[in-house]
Structure 1
Amino acid sequence: MANRNNAVTVVGIPARDEARTVGAVAEAADAGLRLAFPGGSNAVVLADNGSTDGTVDRFTETPLRARKVVARSGGEGTGKGTNVFAIIDRALELGADRVLLLDADVRSAEPEWVGRLAGAVDDERPTLAVPVYRRNRFEANTTNHLASPLLAAVFGVHLQQPIGGEFAFNRAFLERARTWPRPASAYLYGIDVWLTANALRERMRVVEVPLGRKLHNSPFPKILRLPQQVLDSLFHVVLRTDCVRPPRPGAVRSRAAVDGAAAPQDPAVVSRVSASVARYLDAHRDDVRALFPAADGLTAAPWGLRVTTEQWPHVLADALAALAGGRFEQARDHLVALYVNRVLTFWEEIDGLDDTRIDGLLDRQAELTVRAVRDRRIALGGSTGPGVFRVGHWAGFNDDSPATPLAAACPPDPSAAPLRAVNRGVA
């Protein structure tokens, strides 16, 4: 790698409709570049796909010392991954030695993040840096209950924030990443896990970088589409993996991922999501029961199904077994429904716990998932994933999906028969 101070460093900001925060993120990136690389060739790249709120104008009006670059794409059929791929392409054109990503909606970005992330990838080997920060206990749900335990179970590596957004990688990583097959979901919210899972699949150097607290817009309103896209990309990478790998020596470390502050999610959004999931499980009850034997032991809860810390790892193992058996879309989509019930159960489990005990609960969940998957002796590599990304079984149940009729915007009465049926359990 070139001299650290003289190398080309690019900070990329993937964005859509983030006019309120993109200027502050760009300023933090610029200040961090000046602090860490005062003599280097620095650039801040905004990758925007279809913003209609003036995001690009806000960025271009923000005074920066680093070079400002804007990459645009249309909004239809694109997402965060489209922006990240645009940043990678533009960074290679600029001769970047290292690239950092900062989410456009983050409100706690600090200039010091730039130096910390960049320093972690100063290596000749392909290297990915992922963040470690404390999050509101009611957030990071896809990270805590899907991405982190599944990556640990398949690749033997425990990462606290494998889809955290604030990433860094060096040129050697970029060159390798350009060769990886890109499922359609990697152009959406699947991009973060696609990067991390592929790095682990190829046994690359992955470094966790402490960044303190993260404050950003809550992703919970996207809970019926974001995890589906994450699982889709993850499942594609898993199917290209040789086998379920044992834990690496020293791979298990106590996490410190939960912030002492807590801001519950909007009850109206939670109620709407719960109603959609209840309708979904009622419609797909027989298929869920067939693919997820562990769901037979789930009992009723006010939100639908109670999925405990001890039960959830076996549900995840069922999902990987179904995936290996060629049931890609069914495993992905049904797991999303059970995942939402796991999240709501988790919130009940952590009521009254401090952050240290919550971290311990998440560590235990990951360790139990590793054990459950190992005990199943799942054989990978025997099937492939779909070539396109479809909403699939969630069409008509996910109010946020373009495939959902507008008439479905109002959730059903929680006392209606479909929800009562689900409350009796999947069986």
Structure 2
Amino acid sequence: MPTNRTAAVTVVGIPARNEATTVAAVARAADAGLRAAFPDGRNVVVLADNGSTDGTAERFEATELAVEKVVVRSGGIGTGKGTNVFEILDQGALLGADRVLLLDADVRSTEPEWIDRLARAVDGPEPTIAVPAYRRNRFEANTTNHLASPLLAAVYGVHVQQPIGGEFAFNRAFIERARTWARPASSYLYGIDVWLTANALREDLRVVEVPLGRKLHNSPFPKILRLPQQVLDSLFHVLLHTDGVRPPAPRDEVARAAIDSASVRPDPVVVAHVTHQVGRYLADRWEGVSDLFPAARDLRAAPWGLRVGTDEWPLLLADAVAGVAAGDLESTRDHLVALYVNRVLTFWDEIEGLDGPRIDVLLDRQAAETVEAVRSRSISFGRTAAPSVFHEGHWIGYNEESEPRLGWSVPA
């Protein structure tokens, strides 16, 4: 890294698909933040678009920015957010970037100040990734709160509040290291964020959490059947290359502040559709689910399907880690998605009437108990080969919001 940070090359990448309504505001925030943080540097905003049909790229190109603009495109079939992120990292390498930042294209609360905060966190020669810490709507961040964060804490001993937040930053040393990591097909989809964070923890790289305030964006709930499947697939591939479950690292006694005061429930029609699909899945596959997840056998019925409370969920996550270690990645991934949806709906019931700080305490307890549940087992990972092709597996026929292509391989 240069000694004068203002003279460096900084790239802000915006991965996008069909985000025409918000991409211009995100680009303008990136432009203002770059000019304020690096007035003497070379600053570039890169839009990476894969298959947009709503004029996202055209809206970006028509947005007036003072810094340089670059647009890279890829087709929509068999691609996803990870495709865009890898394109941005490649552009960063071509431009000789000293740091690359990512801003999600659908965020409505992006602030120019985020640029300086994220960039400052990755200054220095040591490979470093900066991840965000937000306040979120209590009905969002479900994959983060119930899957990615507790599983990473349980296996790697590090509690990262928002390991799949989207607003990331990397220095050149980190990007060079990341180029050496195996890329499962799901890392080209929504698995990209957890792939980056999990690999950083696996290699004991520096991970810095950067407070960014409130995050407001389009509701992710309609993706609740396919997004966590892709996230889990990437995470489980990284676990297979991990030396073993690690002891918990010392934690700063800083209270979690992940839950925002504002809350908006997802569309009840969408929730009802998802609940129906998950109920069908569990009815058809209960024998396999209960064999792989013994803790599920004691679950009680609930109006939405199964009651998966804060006490039960850590045991189910420990079953999942054991299933991956035994080499059953696909079944573990798919069955866990069904149980996870029931956990989300149970969680919403549990937090009825609670304020943000009390919900934060509940999530911290859930993560801590997941750490203990995993550590109580004798789990070791082998470098078991996993298929490079990603497809919906057991969810074919249940997820009507699936990707248009059900199976594809890592690009050559």
TM-score by length of 1: 0.94
- 1:383 is displaced (CA, Å) by 2.0
Other-structure match for 2:348: 347
Q: Distance in 1 between matches of 2:405 and 2:356?
A: 38
Other-structure match for 2:44: 43
CA RMSD of aligned residues (A): 1.2
**Contact 1:130–1:167 (CA under 8 A) maintained in structure 2:** yes
Letter in 1 for 2:216: L
Q: Distance in 1 between matches of 2:49 and 2:324?
A: 34
**Contact 1:396–1:404 (CA under 8 A) maintained in structure 2:** no
Q: How does 1:12-411 map to 2 (within 5 A)?
A: 12-250=13-251, 253-402=254-403
Change (3 A) 1:251 1:318: farther
- 1:382 is displaced (CA, Å) by 4.8
**Contact 2:77–2:404 (CA under 8 A) maintained in structure 1:** no
| Post-superposition CA distance 1:295-325 (Å, at most 9, x none) | 0110000000000001000000001111111
Q: Distance in 1 between matches of 2:261 and 2:324?
A: 37
Change (3 A) 1:287 1:137: same
**Contact 1:82–1:187 (CA under 8 A) maintained in structure 2:** yes
Change (3 A) 1:108 1:208: same
**Contact 1:333–1:394 (CA under 8 A) maintained in structure 2:** yes
Aligned residues: 405
- 1:326 is displaced (CA, Å) by 1.2
Q: Distance in 2 between matches of 1:338 and 1:151?
A: 18
Letter in 2 for 1:43: V
| Post-superposition CA distance 1:106-142 (Å, at most 9, x none) | 0000000000000000011000000001000000000
Q: Distance in 2 between matches of 1:28 and 1:387?
A: 37
- 1:385 is displaced (CA, Å) by 2.0
Identity of aligned residues (%): 71
| Post-superposition CA distance 1:259-315 (Å, at most 9, x none) | 011101111000000000000001111100100000011000000000000100000
For residue 376 of structure 1, give the secondary structure of its aligned residue in structure 2: coil
Q: Distance in 2 between matches of 1:25 and 1:31?
A: 10
Letter in 1 for 2:362: L
Letter in 2 for 1:170: N
Q: Distance in 1 between matches of 2:405 and 2:219?
A: 23
**Contact 1:71–1:86 (CA under 8 A) maintained in structure 2:** yes
For residue 390 of structure 2, give the secondary structure of its aligned residue in structure 1: coil
For structure 1, list consecutive stretches of 5 or more residues without a partner in the other structure: 406-427
**Contact 2:78–2:405 (CA under 8 A) maintained in structure 1:** no
**Contact 1:18–1:55 (CA under 8 A) maintained in structure 2:** yes
- 1:251 is displaced (CA, Å) by 6.0
Q: Distance in 1 between matches of 2:253 and 2:313?
A: 19
Other-structure match for 2:410: none
**Contact 2:78–2:404 (CA under 8 A) maintained in structure 1:** no
For residue 326 of structure 1, give the secondary structure of its aligned residue in structure 2: coil
Write out the 4+ residue segments of structure 1 that deviate beyond 4 Å after TM superposition.
402-405
| Post-superposition CA distance 1:52-77 (Å, at most 9, x none) | 11111110111111100001000110
Q: Distance in 1 between matches of 2:389 and 2:252?
A: 34
| Post-superposition CA distance 1:40-95 (Å, at most 9, x none) | 00000000001111111110111111100001000110000000000000011000
| Post-superposition CA distance 1:374-420 (Å, at most 9, x none) | 00121112523222101000000011125799xxxxxxxxxxxxxxx
Q: Distance in 2 between matches of 1:253 and 1:350?
A: 22
**Contact 2:140–2:221 (CA under 8 A) maintained in structure 1:** yes
Change (3 A) 1:369 1:251: farther
